Chain A
Amino acid sequence: MVETLLEIHGLKTWFKTDDGMVRAVDGVDLRIDHGETLGVVGESGCGKTVTARSVLKLIDMPPGRFEGGRILWRGRDLIPLDDQEMNKIRAREIAIIFQEPMTSLNPVYTVGDQIAEVIALHQKLGRKQAMEGAAEMLRLVNIPNPQHRVHDYPHQFSGGMRQRVMIAMALSCQPKLLIADEPTTALDVTIQAQILELMHEMKDRFGMAIMLITHAMGVVAETCQRVTVMYAGKVVEEAPVGELFGQPRHPYTQGLIRSIPRVDRAAEKKQRLEAISGTVPSLLDPPPGCRFAARCRYASDICVREMPPLKEVAPGHFVRCVL
């Protein structure tokens, strides 16, 4: 039996704004087992990032608020924990890397200082040993000449290199789970592949699980074992990766898969890339029914009236759709 690391049940993270409550995350369920890579996909604004930050409680409260649900980390609910208790989990057990490597590092400290800060704190080491640890981490993420580069500042690194530094920092305490919040979105394609490969390598080396948040279906197909598809603050489908791409059940998932660019089709058949028409609905007082109904080609009356439950259609394959 594989240990379940993270289990999120009915998580609701809402934000109070001048116009009312924005239900950014409105009842999300997901699960990550030891050593697996879970892909969380969905278009911009569907609540992926808020879900990720909720796990580490990095949401500013106020305006943010947990309206309900539980975040179970190895069986222990994180929501009632105070900052001090969370700080024992952050970086040591769950680490996170962000979308923008250009702005995620503090410009006034050397990268070595920033990595050593985590090592010194969680491993109770002196400054000198922590700096050695930082150089070792830079070597692990394939930064050339690490002994020298620990003393460089973030602005002396390129975007891809900075994301490597972020990975080095995140992994420096050997966390059990790495949350990667669109780690490659801001990078160019060749660097994207390198960073994904690095994350994979690190995953095997440290035996950690990865929660990979992305909107690139291609990345999911290559790297994940299971996928959770989110739409407008809710999970609409969850399945093992092969099954999701082979038999997508939710119309939104089907649309996402059809919107993956395929060079062969574009070149031979002059086929246009399919897009899902319309945009994500406002999360301010969302309608009662299925949130995708307005954009769904199969939508019927019942879809508009009530929210379908998440039901299991095959072992490990859940769908929130009446079809």
Chain B
Amino acid sequence: MSRQWILRRILLVIPAMLGISVLLYTVLALAPGDPFSELAQNPAVPPEVAAALRAKFGLDDPVWVRYGHWFTSMMRGDWGFSFVSRMDVDTLILQRLPTTLIVIGAAQLMAILVALPVGVLAGIRPYSVFDQIANTLAFIGFSLPTFFTGLLLILVFSIQLDWLPFVYRADINATGWKFYWEHIRQSIMPVMVLGLFQGASLVRYVRSSVLDVVKLDYVITARSKGIGERKVVTKHVVRNALIPVVTLVMLQMPVVFGGAIVTEQIFRVPGIGSLLISAMLANDTPVVMAVTFVFSCLVVLCNLIADVLYAWLDPRISYR
């Protein structure tokens, strides 16, 4: 894999991001309501004051002029000001982003750690008892939506058993081990809900991919070499089976972020997903714009990682 190819692939991200920002901005500008719409209905504010405010903040300018303003200030690191929270948007997002990334990252990691061995074992012994059980569980896992499993877990582990907190708190008054322990305790349920949902569909992908690969000629060649069955599977089957799985996992990332928004809402996780929902409800356009833009950045980044991983896994892809 050449460094030049990776560099070129990274450069391709720039036009993609530009296009996404234009699209997002236009859609948001076309949507009804802006931060001043409440002002217009407020009888205490005279219409000419409201109009003057609108003019001052440039809300009546054409969309492309406003986009230009937004773009230039964003490039300078100014992401706008949240009218509702009375804070800079970038500080607001930076407060929330780590929580979301940790929850999603841990969930995705868990999904992969569970799905990979289960899927591979099910794929090399198709229709065995293990495969049947794994399949059934996977089917249940991805049929149940996260808002259902989330509530179910809260009902069992928080309300019935009272083992885990069901509200995620960002302000934990503890230091050292206790601080981390509390964070882990409150992350368990959101991570489980997201991770198992992702893992369930991943098991099916891995299984069918392994099933395709184990029949191939080069696996028989590998067996004929006298390397043990375990090595045949880990070295010759799994790496080839992973190639399509990587694509699927990364294509699923937008769904994961969407699922995270729901999960954050259920467990009251103070991540950017719940920030997005509250901003939308409050017509806080700068925050909505910034959060959706951050989400798209993450999705584009995941695609970039997928391309690089794909190229690393499969040498037949040429980088020209």
The CA-CA distance from A103 to B316 in the complex, in Å, is 13
Scan B240-275; emit 1 where CB is below 8 A from any A CB, else 0.
100100000000000000000000000000000000
Chain B residues in 8 Å Cβ range of A107 = 218, 240, 314-316
Determine the residue in chain B with the shortest Cβ distance to A101: B217
List the A side residues contacting B294 at CB < 8 Å.
none
Residues B314 and A87 in contact, CB atoms below 8 Å apart: no
Q: Which residues of B contact A98 (CB under 8 A)?
A: 217, 220-221
Report if B14 contacts A (CB, 8 A).
Answer: no
Contacts of A166 in B (CB 8 A): 221
Partner of B224, one of A83, A96, A100: A96
A74 CB contacts on chain B under 8 angstroms: none
Residue B3 is within 8 A (CB to CB) of chain A in the complex: no
B125 to chain A, nearest CB (A): 11
Question: What are the interface flags for B278-293 relative to A under an 8 Å C-beta threshold, 1 for contact and 0 otherwise?
Answer: 0000000000000000
Of the residues A83, A91, A104, contact of B218 by C-beta under 8 Å: A104
Cα(A319)–Cα(B308), bound, Å: 61
Query: Chain A's interface: helix, strand, loop or mixed, by majority?
Result: mixed
Interfacial chain B residues near A169, Cβ < 8 Å: 221, 225
Residue B222, interface by CB 8 Å: yes
Tell me, yes or no, whether A108 is within 8 Å of chain B by CB. yes
User: Is there a chain B Cβ closer than 8 Å to A216's Cβ?
Assistant: no
Interface range on chain B (Cβ under 8 Å from partner): 20 to 34
Q: Are B227 and A117 in contact (CB under 8 A)?
A: yes
Give the complex CA separation of A103 and B313 in angstroms.
18
| The residue from B226, B240, B315 contacting A121, defined by CB atoms under 8 A apart | B226
The answer to whether A56 touches B228 (Cβ under 8 A) is no
Q: How far is the CA of A189 from the CA of B320 in the complex (A)?
A: 35
Does A305 lie at the interface of the complex (its beta carbon under 8 Å from any beta carbon of B)?
no
A66 at the binding interface (Cβ < 8 Å): no
Interface string of B199-224 (1 = CB under 8 A from A): 00000000000000000111011111
Minimum C-beta distance from B98 to chain A (A)? 36
B236 within 8 A of A: yes
Contacts of B315 in A (CB 8 A): 107-108, 110, 153, 155
B8 within 8 A of A: no
Chain A residue at smallest Cβ distance from B315: A153
Verify if A294 is at the interface (C-beta below 8 Å from B): no
Q: Specify which chain B residues have a CB less than 8 angstroms from the CB of A117 in the assembled complex.
A: 225, 227
Name the A residues within 8 Å of B220 (CB-CB). 53, 58, 98, 104
Q: Is B239 an interface residue (CB 8 A)?
A: yes
Q: How far is the CB of B18 from chain A (nearest CB, A)?
A: 35
When C-beta atoms are compared, the residue in chain A nearest to B228 turns out to be: A87
Residue A106 interfacial (CB < 8 Å):
yes
- Is residue B171 within 8 Å, beta carbon to beta carbon, of the partner chain? no
Minimum C-beta distance from B124 to chain A (A): 11
Q: Is B48 an interface residue (CB 8 A)?
A: no
Residue interface bits A261-304, CB-to-B below 8 A is 1, else 0: 00000000000000000000000000000000000000000000
Closest approach, in angstroms, between the C-beta of B224 and any C-beta of chain A? 5
Known: A103-B216, A104-B217, A108-B240. A90 touches B224 (CB 8 A): yes
Once the chains bind, are A90 and B226 in contact (CB under 8 Å)?
yes
Q: Does A6 contact B (CB under 8 A)?
A: no
Task: Give the B-binding residues of A (Cβ under 8 A).
Answer: 53, 56, 58, 83-84, 86-92, 95-96, 98, 100, 103-108, 110, 117-118, 121-122, 153, 155, 166, 169
Using CB atoms and an 8 Å cutoff, list the residues of chain B in contact with chain A: 216-218, 220-229, 236, 239-240, 243, 313-316
* CB-CB nearest 6 A-B residue pairs: A90-B226, A87-B226, A103-B217, A106-B218, A91-B226, A153-B315
| 10 A–B pairs (Cβ distance < 8 Å), ordered by A | A83-B229, A86-B226, A90-B226, A92-B226, A104-B221, A106-B240, A107-B240, A108-B243, A117-B225, A118-B226
Given contacts A98-B217, A108-B239, A169-B221, 7 further A-B contacts (CB under 8 A): A58-B220, A58-B223, A92-B226, A96-B224, A104-B217, A107-B315, A108-B243
